[in-house]
Amino acid sequence: MVSFNYERIFKVLGGLLMEELISDKTFISYAWSNPEHEQWVMKLAERLTHNGVDVVLDKWDSVEGQDLNAFMLQCVNHPSITKVLVICDEVYSKKANEYQGGVGTETVIISDKVFKDVEQTKFVPIVAERDQNGNAYLPTYLNGKKYIDMSTEQNYEDGYEKLIRNLFGKPEFVKPEKGKAPSYLLRDEKKSTLQSQIALNRFKHDIERRPRNVAIYFNDFAEVFRQDFKTYALSVNTPKELEEKIFSQFHDMIELRNIYLKFLESYIRETDEVDSDLILELFESLYPLIETTFSDTHFNTQFEHMNLFVTEIVIYTIAVLYKNKKYKAIKNIIANQYLVVDRFNQEFNGNISLFRAYPELIENLPLPSTGQKYISNSGQLIIERANYDTYSTQDIIESEFLMFFLSSVKATNTYFEWYPLTSPYVGRERIEFMSKLKSKRFFENIKELFDVTTREEMVKLTEGFKKHVEKVRPGGRVMQIYHIIPPSDKIASI
Protein backbone atom coordinates (compact mmCIF):
# COMPACT_ATOMS: atom_id res chain seq x y z
CA MET A 1 0.00 0.00 0.00
CA VAL A 2 1.61 3.27 -1.14
CA SER A 3 1.14 6.27 1.18
CA PHE A 4 1.05 9.71 -0.43
CA ASN A 5 2.88 12.75 0.90
CA TYR A 6 0.14 15.12 -0.25
CA GLU A 7 1.59 18.19 1.46
CA ARG A 8 4.86 17.84 -0.43
CA ILE A 9 3.17 17.18 -3.80
CA PHE A 10 0.66 20.03 -3.33
CA LYS A 11 3.56 22.37 -2.61
CA VAL A 12 5.21 21.41 -5.91
CA LEU A 13 1.97 21.57 -7.86
CA GLY A 14 0.94 24.84 -6.24
CA GLY A 15 4.03 26.51 -7.67
CA LEU A 16 3.36 24.97 -11.06
CA LEU A 17 -0.28 26.10 -11.18
CA MET A 18 0.61 29.67 -10.23
CA GLU A 19 2.83 29.78 -13.32
CA GLU A 20 0.05 28.22 -15.47
CA LEU A 21 2.39 25.61 -16.89
CA ILE A 22 1.28 22.98 -19.37
CA SER A 23 2.56 19.44 -19.03
CA ASP A 24 3.75 17.10 -21.74
CA LYS A 25 1.00 14.99 -23.29
CA THR A 26 1.93 11.59 -21.92
CA PHE A 27 1.35 8.01 -23.08
CA ILE A 28 1.83 5.18 -20.59
CA SER A 29 3.36 1.99 -21.98
CA TYR A 30 3.04 -1.03 -19.70
CA ALA A 31 2.44 -4.78 -19.62
CA TRP A 32 -0.75 -6.45 -18.40
CA SER A 33 1.34 -8.43 -15.93
CA ASN A 34 -1.40 -9.11 -13.39
CA PRO A 35 -4.47 -7.33 -11.97
CA GLU A 36 -2.45 -5.76 -9.15
CA HIS A 37 0.05 -4.24 -11.58
CA GLU A 38 -2.73 -2.97 -13.84
CA GLN A 39 -4.31 -1.31 -10.80
CA TRP A 40 -0.91 0.25 -9.90
CA VAL A 41 -0.67 1.75 -13.39
CA MET A 42 -4.30 2.93 -13.31
CA LYS A 43 -3.79 4.76 -9.99
CA LEU A 44 -0.65 6.42 -11.32
CA ALA A 45 -2.48 7.55 -14.46
CA GLU A 46 -5.43 8.88 -12.44
CA ARG A 47 -3.17 10.79 -10.07
CA LEU A 48 -1.22 12.34 -12.93
CA THR A 49 -4.48 13.38 -14.58
CA HIS A 50 -5.78 14.95 -11.36
CA ASN A 51 -2.49 16.83 -11.16
CA GLY A 52 -2.93 18.42 -14.58
CA VAL A 53 -1.17 15.95 -16.89
CA ASP A 54 -2.87 14.97 -20.18
CA VAL A 55 -2.50 11.17 -19.94
CA VAL A 56 -3.18 8.75 -22.81
CA LEU A 57 -3.94 5.25 -21.48
CA ASP A 58 -5.36 2.22 -23.25
CA LYS A 59 -7.88 1.69 -20.45
CA TRP A 60 -9.74 4.90 -21.31
CA ASP A 61 -8.50 5.92 -24.76
CA SER A 62 -9.21 2.70 -26.68
CA VAL A 63 -12.52 0.95 -27.34
CA GLU A 64 -13.69 -2.59 -27.97
CA GLY A 65 -12.88 -3.78 -31.46
CA GLN A 66 -9.92 -1.44 -31.85
CA ASP A 67 -6.56 -2.94 -32.82
CA LEU A 68 -4.53 -2.40 -29.64
CA ASN A 69 -1.17 -2.88 -31.36
CA ALA A 70 -2.06 -0.17 -33.86
CA PHE A 71 -3.30 2.04 -31.01
CA MET A 72 -0.03 1.71 -29.11
CA LEU A 73 2.13 2.32 -32.16
CA GLN A 74 0.09 5.39 -33.03
CA CYS A 75 0.57 6.76 -29.51
CA VAL A 76 4.32 6.14 -29.55
CA ASN A 77 4.72 7.86 -32.91
CA HIS A 78 2.12 10.63 -32.66
CA PRO A 79 3.78 14.10 -32.67
CA SER A 80 1.37 15.45 -30.03
CA ILE A 81 2.61 12.91 -27.49
CA THR A 82 5.87 14.29 -26.17
CA LYS A 83 6.47 11.87 -23.29
CA VAL A 84 6.15 8.09 -23.09
CA LEU A 85 6.35 6.53 -19.64
CA VAL A 86 7.79 3.02 -19.91
CA ILE A 87 6.55 1.16 -16.81
CA CYS A 88 9.25 -1.45 -16.18
CA ASP A 89 8.43 -4.60 -14.26
CA GLU A 90 9.59 -8.20 -14.73
CA VAL A 91 6.94 -9.08 -17.32
CA TYR A 92 7.48 -5.90 -19.37
CA SER A 93 11.26 -6.39 -19.46
CA LYS A 94 10.92 -10.03 -20.53
CA LYS A 95 8.41 -9.25 -23.29
CA ALA A 96 10.49 -6.34 -24.53
CA ASN A 97 13.70 -8.37 -24.66
CA GLU A 98 11.94 -11.26 -26.44
CA TYR A 99 9.77 -9.00 -28.63
CA GLN A 100 6.54 -10.61 -27.41
CA GLY A 101 3.03 -9.23 -27.90
CA GLY A 102 2.16 -5.56 -27.90
CA VAL A 103 5.12 -4.74 -25.69
CA GLY A 104 7.42 -6.37 -28.22
CA THR A 105 5.83 -4.36 -31.03
CA GLU A 106 6.36 -1.12 -29.10
CA THR A 107 9.93 -2.14 -28.36
CA VAL A 108 10.80 -2.24 -32.05
CA ILE A 109 9.75 1.40 -32.41
CA ILE A 110 11.00 2.73 -29.06
CA SER A 111 14.40 1.01 -29.15
CA ASP A 112 15.03 2.32 -32.67
CA LYS A 113 14.35 5.89 -31.53
CA VAL A 114 16.45 5.45 -28.38
CA PHE A 115 19.45 4.05 -30.28
CA LYS A 116 19.28 6.68 -33.01
CA ASP A 117 19.06 9.59 -30.58
CA VAL A 118 21.10 8.97 -27.44
CA GLU A 119 20.14 12.43 -26.14
CA GLN A 120 16.38 11.79 -26.39
CA THR A 121 14.21 12.49 -23.33
CA LYS A 122 10.81 11.44 -24.71
CA PHE A 123 10.95 7.90 -23.32
CA VAL A 124 11.13 7.90 -19.51
CA PRO A 125 11.76 4.55 -17.74
CA ILE A 126 9.69 4.14 -14.57
CA VAL A 127 10.96 1.26 -12.42
CA ALA A 128 7.94 -0.41 -10.81
CA GLU A 129 9.69 -3.60 -9.69
CA ARG A 130 13.14 -4.94 -8.79
CA ASP A 131 14.53 -8.47 -8.70
CA GLN A 132 15.48 -10.37 -5.56
CA ASN A 133 18.96 -8.81 -5.66
CA GLY A 134 17.57 -5.29 -5.79
CA ASN A 135 18.36 -4.74 -9.47
CA ALA A 136 15.85 -2.76 -11.51
CA TYR A 137 13.93 -4.62 -14.18
CA LEU A 138 14.83 -2.74 -17.36
CA PRO A 139 14.58 -3.78 -21.02
CA THR A 140 18.01 -4.21 -22.58
CA TYR A 141 17.62 -1.15 -24.78
CA LEU A 142 17.08 1.02 -21.68
CA ASN A 143 20.14 -0.18 -19.77
CA GLY A 144 22.26 2.79 -18.81
CA LYS A 145 19.37 5.23 -19.13
CA LYS A 146 18.45 7.40 -16.16
CA TYR A 147 15.22 6.14 -14.67
CA ILE A 148 12.69 7.14 -12.01
CA ASP A 149 12.43 4.64 -9.15
CA MET A 150 8.87 4.04 -7.88
CA SER A 151 9.42 0.39 -6.98
CA THR A 152 8.86 0.64 -3.23
CA GLU A 153 6.65 2.56 -0.86
CA GLN A 154 9.74 4.39 0.44
CA ASN A 155 10.76 5.52 -3.06
CA TYR A 156 7.31 6.12 -4.53
CA GLU A 157 6.71 9.70 -3.36
CA ASP A 158 10.21 10.90 -4.27
CA GLY A 159 9.80 9.21 -7.63
CA TYR A 160 6.39 10.78 -8.20
CA GLU A 161 7.74 14.25 -7.47
CA LYS A 162 10.57 13.69 -9.97
CA LEU A 163 8.04 12.49 -12.54
CA ILE A 164 5.65 15.42 -12.11
CA ARG A 165 8.58 17.85 -12.34
CA ASN A 166 9.78 16.10 -15.50
CA LEU A 167 6.37 16.30 -17.18
CA PHE A 168 5.99 19.99 -16.35
CA GLY A 169 9.60 20.83 -17.22
CA LYS A 170 10.41 22.07 -13.71
CA PRO A 171 13.43 20.06 -12.48
CA GLU A 172 14.38 20.15 -8.81
CA PHE A 173 18.00 21.05 -9.58
CA VAL A 174 18.66 23.92 -11.95
CA LYS A 175 22.14 24.80 -13.14
CA PRO A 176 23.09 28.24 -11.78
CA GLU A 177 24.19 31.06 -14.02
CA LYS A 178 27.88 31.08 -14.81
CA GLY A 179 29.73 33.47 -12.52
CA LYS A 180 33.14 35.08 -12.60
CA ALA A 181 36.41 33.30 -11.90
CA PRO A 182 37.65 33.74 -8.30
CA SER A 183 39.81 36.80 -8.01
CA TYR A 184 42.64 34.83 -6.41
CA LEU A 185 43.22 33.01 -9.72
CA LEU A 186 44.11 36.32 -11.33
CA ARG A 187 46.22 37.22 -8.35
CA ASP A 188 48.14 33.94 -8.64
CA GLU A 189 49.35 35.01 -12.08
CA LYS A 190 51.03 38.06 -10.66
CA LYS A 191 54.16 38.24 -8.61
CA SER A 192 53.24 37.99 -4.95
CA THR A 193 53.04 41.33 -3.18
CA LEU A 194 52.90 39.70 0.24
CA GLN A 195 55.90 40.25 2.46
CA SER A 196 55.27 36.82 3.98
CA GLN A 197 56.60 35.21 0.80
CA ILE A 198 59.88 37.06 1.27
CA ALA A 199 59.88 36.12 4.96
CA LEU A 200 59.33 32.46 4.02
CA ASN A 201 62.30 32.50 1.65
CA ARG A 202 64.42 34.15 4.33
CA PHE A 203 63.31 31.54 6.90
CA LYS A 204 64.39 28.68 4.62
CA HIS A 205 67.74 30.34 3.99
CA ASP A 206 68.46 31.17 7.63
CA ILE A 207 67.47 27.78 9.02
CA GLU A 208 69.89 26.04 6.66
CA ARG A 209 72.74 28.23 7.90
CA ARG A 210 71.97 28.32 11.63
CA PRO A 211 69.34 25.66 12.50
CA ARG A 212 69.77 26.19 16.24
CA ASN A 213 68.06 29.56 15.99
CA VAL A 214 64.83 28.09 14.61
CA ALA A 215 62.66 29.71 17.31
CA ILE A 216 63.99 33.15 16.40
CA TYR A 217 63.34 32.57 12.71
CA PHE A 218 59.84 31.29 13.50
CA ASN A 219 58.97 34.49 15.32
CA ASP A 220 60.51 36.62 12.57
CA PHE A 221 58.18 35.01 10.05
CA ALA A 222 55.21 35.29 12.43
CA GLU A 223 55.70 39.05 12.74
CA VAL A 224 55.61 39.55 8.97
CA PHE A 225 52.66 37.16 8.66
CA ARG A 226 50.67 39.24 11.16
CA GLN A 227 51.34 42.42 9.20
CA ASP A 228 50.14 40.82 5.97
CA PHE A 229 47.07 39.46 7.75
CA LYS A 230 46.05 42.98 8.80
CA THR A 231 46.11 44.21 5.20
CA TYR A 232 43.07 42.07 4.38
CA ALA A 233 40.83 44.00 6.76
CA LEU A 234 37.89 45.66 5.01
CA SER A 235 36.81 49.28 5.03
CA VAL A 236 33.22 49.65 3.80
CA ASN A 237 30.54 52.31 3.97
CA THR A 238 27.33 50.30 3.58
CA PRO A 239 26.07 46.78 4.36
CA LYS A 240 25.57 46.22 0.62
CA GLU A 241 29.21 47.04 -0.07
CA LEU A 242 30.22 44.61 2.67
CA GLU A 243 28.14 41.81 1.12
CA GLU A 244 29.78 42.45 -2.24
CA LYS A 245 33.35 42.41 -0.89
CA ILE A 246 33.53 39.94 1.99
CA PHE A 247 33.62 36.74 -0.09
CA SER A 248 36.14 38.01 -2.63
CA GLN A 249 38.37 39.28 0.17
CA PHE A 250 38.23 35.91 1.88
CA HIS A 251 39.12 34.17 -1.39
CA ASP A 252 42.08 36.50 -1.85
CA MET A 253 43.48 35.28 1.47
CA ILE A 254 44.21 31.83 0.02
CA GLU A 255 47.64 33.09 -1.03
CA LEU A 256 48.52 34.06 2.54
CA ARG A 257 47.16 30.75 3.84
CA ASN A 258 49.32 28.77 1.43
CA ILE A 259 52.44 30.71 2.38
CA TYR A 260 51.73 29.88 6.02
CA LEU A 261 51.34 26.18 5.19
CA LYS A 262 54.65 26.12 3.31
CA PHE A 263 56.28 27.82 6.28
CA LEU A 264 54.81 25.36 8.79
CA GLU A 265 55.88 22.37 6.69
CA SER A 266 59.41 23.78 6.42
CA TYR A 267 59.55 24.38 10.15
CA ILE A 268 58.45 20.82 10.96
CA ARG A 269 61.00 19.33 8.57
CA GLU A 270 63.85 21.28 10.17
CA THR A 271 63.12 20.55 13.83
CA ASP A 272 63.21 17.29 15.76
CA GLU A 273 60.45 18.33 18.14
CA VAL A 274 57.79 20.90 17.39
CA ASP A 275 57.74 23.72 19.92
CA SER A 276 53.97 24.02 20.32
CA ASP A 277 54.40 27.21 22.36
CA LEU A 278 55.49 29.02 19.20
CA ILE A 279 52.26 28.02 17.46
CA LEU A 280 50.12 28.85 20.50
CA GLU A 281 51.63 32.31 20.71
CA LEU A 282 51.05 32.89 17.01
CA PHE A 283 47.36 32.00 17.38
CA GLU A 284 47.01 34.29 20.39
CA SER A 285 48.69 37.15 18.56
CA LEU A 286 46.27 36.88 15.62
CA TYR A 287 43.18 37.24 17.82
CA PRO A 288 43.28 41.04 18.38
CA LEU A 289 44.05 41.58 14.68
CA ILE A 290 40.79 39.97 13.57
CA GLU A 291 38.93 43.23 14.22
CA THR A 292 41.41 45.47 12.44
CA THR A 293 39.76 48.75 11.37
CA PHE A 294 40.87 51.71 9.31
CA SER A 295 38.27 54.15 10.65
CA ASP A 296 36.18 54.87 13.72
CA THR A 297 33.00 53.51 12.11
CA HIS A 298 32.52 49.86 11.23
CA PHE A 299 30.02 47.00 11.00
CA ASN A 300 30.33 44.09 13.40
CA THR A 301 30.15 41.64 10.49
CA GLN A 302 32.96 43.22 8.48
CA PHE A 303 35.52 41.13 10.38
CA GLU A 304 33.98 37.74 9.58
CA HIS A 305 36.40 36.86 6.77
CA MET A 306 39.32 37.60 9.12
CA ASN A 307 37.80 35.40 11.80
CA LEU A 308 37.10 32.57 9.37
CA PHE A 309 40.66 32.80 8.04
CA VAL A 310 42.06 32.28 11.54
CA THR A 311 39.69 29.32 11.96
CA GLU A 312 41.00 27.86 8.71
CA ILE A 313 44.62 28.40 9.77
CA VAL A 314 43.98 26.50 13.02
CA ILE A 315 42.33 23.58 11.17
CA TYR A 316 45.17 23.34 8.66
CA THR A 317 47.74 23.51 11.44
CA ILE A 318 46.20 20.40 13.00
CA ALA A 319 46.13 18.73 9.57
CA VAL A 320 49.84 19.43 9.00
CA LEU A 321 50.81 18.23 12.46
CA TYR A 322 48.70 15.07 12.18
CA LYS A 323 50.11 14.13 8.78
CA ASN A 324 53.61 14.54 10.23
CA LYS A 325 52.67 12.52 13.36
CA LYS A 326 53.36 15.41 15.74
CA TYR A 327 50.79 14.13 18.23
CA LYS A 328 52.22 15.83 21.30
CA ALA A 329 51.97 19.23 19.64
CA ILE A 330 48.34 18.57 18.65
CA LYS A 331 47.49 17.57 22.21
CA ASN A 332 49.07 20.74 23.56
CA ILE A 333 47.30 22.99 21.05
CA ILE A 334 43.87 21.48 21.76
CA ALA A 335 44.26 21.28 25.54
CA ASN A 336 45.88 24.68 26.03
CA GLN A 337 44.07 27.48 27.84
CA TYR A 338 44.60 30.56 25.69
CA LEU A 339 44.80 34.09 27.00
CA VAL A 340 43.91 36.64 24.35
CA VAL A 341 42.97 40.29 24.11
CA ASP A 342 40.64 41.99 21.66
CA ARG A 343 41.23 45.31 19.92
CA PHE A 344 39.94 47.12 23.04
CA ASN A 345 42.60 45.34 25.11
CA GLN A 346 40.00 43.30 27.00
CA GLU A 347 41.23 39.90 28.14
CA PHE A 348 39.57 36.57 27.36
CA ASN A 349 40.61 33.05 28.13
CA GLY A 350 39.47 29.69 26.86
CA ASN A 351 40.48 26.65 24.88
CA ILE A 352 40.91 26.18 21.14
CA SER A 353 37.23 27.02 20.50
CA LEU A 354 38.13 30.71 20.94
CA PHE A 355 39.37 30.58 17.35
CA ARG A 356 36.30 28.92 15.85
CA ALA A 357 34.38 31.42 13.73
CA TYR A 358 30.63 32.07 13.96
CA PRO A 359 30.21 34.30 10.89
CA GLU A 360 26.57 35.38 10.91
CA LEU A 361 26.66 37.36 7.66
CA ILE A 362 28.56 34.69 5.72
CA GLU A 363 26.16 32.01 6.94
CA ASN A 364 23.10 33.95 5.79
CA LEU A 365 24.22 34.90 2.27
CA PRO A 366 24.20 32.62 -0.78
CA LEU A 367 27.72 31.64 -1.77
CA PRO A 368 28.98 33.34 -4.95
CA SER A 369 30.36 30.07 -6.31
CA THR A 370 26.95 28.37 -6.52
CA GLY A 371 24.33 30.99 -5.67
CA GLN A 372 23.12 28.67 -2.89
CA LYS A 373 23.11 28.56 0.90
CA TYR A 374 24.33 25.47 2.75
CA ILE A 375 23.86 23.84 6.14
CA SER A 376 27.25 25.34 6.92
CA ASN A 377 28.34 28.07 4.50
CA SER A 378 31.62 28.33 6.41
CA GLY A 379 32.27 24.62 6.02
CA GLN A 380 31.40 24.77 2.33
CA LEU A 381 33.83 27.65 1.80
CA ILE A 382 36.63 25.75 3.53
CA ILE A 383 35.89 22.69 1.39
CA GLU A 384 35.87 24.78 -1.80
CA ARG A 385 39.24 26.30 -0.83
CA ALA A 386 40.86 22.92 -0.06
CA ASN A 387 43.17 23.20 -3.06
CA TYR A 388 46.55 22.90 -1.34
CA ASP A 389 48.37 19.99 -2.97
CA THR A 390 49.49 18.21 0.19
CA TYR A 391 46.12 18.11 1.97
CA SER A 392 42.90 16.74 0.54
CA THR A 393 39.36 17.71 1.42
CA GLN A 394 39.12 14.55 3.50
CA ASP A 395 42.26 15.54 5.45
CA ILE A 396 40.57 18.79 6.44
CA ILE A 397 37.31 17.06 7.43
CA GLU A 398 39.20 14.52 9.54
CA SER A 399 41.32 17.18 11.22
CA GLU A 400 38.21 19.08 12.28
CA PHE A 401 36.63 15.89 13.58
CA LEU A 402 39.78 15.19 15.58
CA MET A 403 39.54 18.69 17.07
CA PHE A 404 35.89 18.04 17.91
CA PHE A 405 36.73 14.77 19.64
CA LEU A 406 39.68 16.09 21.65
CA SER A 407 38.02 19.36 22.65
CA SER A 408 34.77 17.60 23.64
CA VAL A 409 36.37 15.10 25.99
CA LYS A 410 38.21 17.94 27.74
CA ALA A 411 35.46 20.58 27.70
CA THR A 412 33.37 21.32 30.77
CA ASN A 413 30.43 22.36 28.56
CA THR A 414 29.57 22.48 24.86
CA TYR A 415 30.57 26.15 24.60
CA PHE A 416 34.20 25.08 24.88
CA GLU A 417 34.16 22.36 22.23
CA TRP A 418 35.13 22.72 18.60
CA TYR A 419 32.05 21.56 16.69
CA PRO A 420 33.17 21.05 13.06
CA LEU A 421 32.22 23.64 10.47
CA THR A 422 32.59 20.77 7.99
CA SER A 423 30.20 18.50 9.94
CA PRO A 424 27.75 18.19 6.98
CA TYR A 425 30.49 16.26 5.17
CA VAL A 426 31.24 13.90 8.05
CA GLY A 427 29.81 10.46 7.38
CA ARG A 428 30.17 10.52 3.60
CA GLU A 429 33.48 8.76 4.03
CA ARG A 430 35.08 7.03 7.00
CA ILE A 431 37.14 8.98 9.51
CA GLU A 432 40.48 7.25 9.12
CA PHE A 433 41.92 7.74 12.59
CA MET A 434 38.71 6.44 14.18
CA SER A 435 38.64 3.39 11.93
CA LYS A 436 42.33 2.69 12.53
CA LEU A 437 41.78 2.65 16.30
CA LYS A 438 40.87 -1.00 15.76
CA SER A 439 44.59 -1.65 15.19
CA LYS A 440 46.73 -2.38 18.25
CA ARG A 441 49.80 -1.01 16.50
CA PHE A 442 48.07 2.23 15.53
CA PHE A 443 46.69 2.64 19.05
CA GLU A 444 50.14 2.24 20.57
CA ASN A 445 51.54 4.86 18.19
CA ILE A 446 48.79 7.40 18.71
CA LYS A 447 47.68 6.94 22.33
CA GLU A 448 49.82 9.92 23.36
CA LEU A 449 47.49 12.14 21.36
CA PHE A 450 44.51 11.06 23.45
CA ASP A 451 46.45 11.26 26.71
CA VAL A 452 45.77 7.61 27.56
CA THR A 453 48.07 4.67 28.23
CA THR A 454 45.77 1.64 28.11
CA ARG A 455 43.09 0.24 25.84
CA GLU A 456 40.58 0.48 28.69
CA GLU A 457 41.19 4.21 29.04
CA MET A 458 40.65 4.66 25.30
CA VAL A 459 37.39 2.69 25.44
CA LYS A 460 36.20 4.89 28.30
CA LEU A 461 37.09 7.98 26.29
CA THR A 462 35.22 6.91 23.14
CA GLU A 463 32.18 5.74 25.08
CA GLY A 464 32.04 9.06 26.90
CA PHE A 465 32.25 10.88 23.58
CA LYS A 466 29.40 8.82 22.14
CA LYS A 467 27.17 9.67 25.08
CA HIS A 468 28.17 13.31 24.88
CA VAL A 469 27.28 13.53 21.19
CA GLU A 470 23.99 11.72 21.71
CA LYS A 471 23.08 14.00 24.59
CA VAL A 472 23.94 17.44 23.25
CA ARG A 473 23.80 17.00 19.49
CA PRO A 474 20.67 14.94 18.70
CA GLY A 475 19.61 14.50 15.08
CA GLY A 476 20.30 12.64 11.87
CA ARG A 477 23.51 14.45 10.95
CA VAL A 478 25.14 13.75 14.28
CA MET A 479 24.08 10.11 14.20
CA GLN A 480 26.39 9.76 11.22
CA ILE A 481 29.20 11.02 13.46
CA TYR A 482 28.02 8.72 16.24
CA HIS A 483 28.15 5.60 14.09
CA ILE A 484 31.67 6.10 12.72
CA ILE A 485 33.14 5.53 16.18
CA PRO A 486 34.25 1.88 16.56
CA PRO A 487 32.39 -0.31 19.07
CA SER A 488 34.23 -0.71 22.35
CA ASP A 489 35.15 -4.35 21.71
CA LYS A 490 36.78 -3.41 18.40
CA ILE A 491 39.24 -0.85 19.76
CA ALA A 492 42.85 -2.12 19.69
CA SER A 493 41.59 -5.60 18.85
CA ILE A 494 43.45 -6.36 15.63
Is residue 189 predicted with pLDDT exceeding 60? no
Is residue 214 predicted with pLDDT exceeding 60? yes
The CATH code of domain 6-168 reads 3.40.50.10140
The domains of the chain are located at 6-168, 195-388+402-410, 427-494
pLDDT at 472: 59
pLDDT at 89: 94
260 contacts 199 by C-beta, under 8 angstroms? no
Q: pLDDT tens, 290-315?
A: 988 766 666 778 889 999 999 999 99
Q: pLDDT tens, 403-430?
A: 998 988 766 555 568 888 888 777 656 7
Gap between the Cα atoms of 331 and 351, Å rounded? 12
Percent of the chain residues topping a pLDDT of 90: 44
Alpha helices in 123-275 (DSSP H): 153-168, 183-188, 195-209, 214-230, 239-252, 254-269
Q: With H, G, I as helix, E, B as strand and everything else as coil, classify residue 463.
A: helix
Gap between the Cα atoms of 5 and 154, Å rounded? 11
Please compute the mean of the pLDDT values over residues 221-248 and round it to a whole number: 90
Give the predicted TM-score (pTM) of the model: 0.61
- β-partners of residue 350 are 338
Is residue 180 predicted with pLDDT exceeding 60? yes
Gap between the Cα atoms of 125 and 218, Å rounded? 63
pLDDT at 59: 86
Q: pLDDT tens, 239-265?
A: 888 888 899 999 999 999 999 999 999
Is residue 188 predicted with pLDDT exceeding 50? no
Band of residue 379 on the pLDDT scale cut at 50, 70, 90: very high
Band of residue 13 on the pLDDT scale cut at 50, 70, 90: low
Please compute the mean of the pLDDT values over residues 140-167 and round it to a whole number: 91
Is residue 267 predicted with pLDDT exceeding 60? yes
Mean pLDDT of the chain: 85
pLDDT at 413: 58
Gap between the Cα atoms of 290 and 341, Å rounded? 11
Q: pLDDT tens, 42-70?
A: 999 999 999 999 999 988 887 677 767 77
Q: pLDDT tens, 323-352?
A: 999 999 999 999 999 999 887 888 988 889
Residue by residue, what is the 3-state secondary structure of 274-330?
A: CCHHHHHHHHHHHHHHCCCCCCCCCCHHHHHHHHHHHHHHHHHHHHHHHHCCCHHHH
Band of residue 478 on the pLDDT scale cut at 50, 70, 90: low
**Which residue did the predictor score with more confidence, 228 or 234?**
228
257 contacts 305 by C-beta, under 8 angstroms? no
pLDDT at 297: 62
pLDDT at 257: 96
Please compute the mean of the pLDDT values over residues 212-238 and round it to a whole number: 92
pLDDT at 6: 55
pLDDT at 77: 80
- Lowest-confidence range among 6-20, 77-91, 120-134, 138-152? 6-20
Q: pLDDT tens, 89-102?
A: 999 999 988 888 87
pLDDT at 51: 92
Gap between the Cα atoms of 110 and 247, Å rounded? 50
